[in-house]
Amino acid sequence: MKLLTLAALSAVATSAAHVALAHKRHQDHARMHRERAALTTGLLHQRWLARGIENPELLVAWPDFAEMSESERALNLHINSAVTLWWLQYSTGVTTGDQVAHMARSLMRTEHGRRYWERAGAYRSEEDGGRDQIREFNELISSAYSEAMRAANNAPAAA
């Protein structure tokens, strides 16, 4: 009887291990699918931005772009393209939060970078859909923006 109980317990444990392994495989497959979908969407977004830079008349449906000069619009789209790339890298684990913060601080040292975030920051925050990872990413850039604004406000006035 003890041998039969031991065999039954062994079979149950083996079955449980197989179920756990199958569940892990399913989760890994689902994660890879989400990452692939995010990268494909990001690539399409990058192409859309490039078309907007090359053909500014395509952007007339967006009032924010219509109010910008052609060079400002191209620069804004270029910065947006970079930030989108950072997001894709961050969301797939290619870059860390520290790396994103470093890139964002570099961007926010420029007036164009700060103007971009003044226009886009609130929009990006609204579109996070309550997802923590996007919120964390946006907070990294917002922190770099705030840090740059404090530094700019504390800088001595030019003579």
3-state secondary structure of 125: helix
pLDDT per residue, tens digit, the chain (159 aa), is: 677 777 776 777 777 777 777 777 777 777 777 778 777 877 787 788 788 778 878 777 777 777 888 888 889 889 999 999 999 899 989 999 999 999 999 999 999 999 999 999 988 888 878 889 999 999 999 999 999 999 988 877 655
**Structure tokens, 29:** 């497959």
Rounded CA-CA distance 159/149 in Å is 20
Task: Give residues with Cβ within 8 angstroms of 134, minimum separation 6.
Answer: 87, 91, 124, 127, 128
CA atoms within 13 A on the CB side of 6: 3
Hey, what are 90's tokens? 């961050």
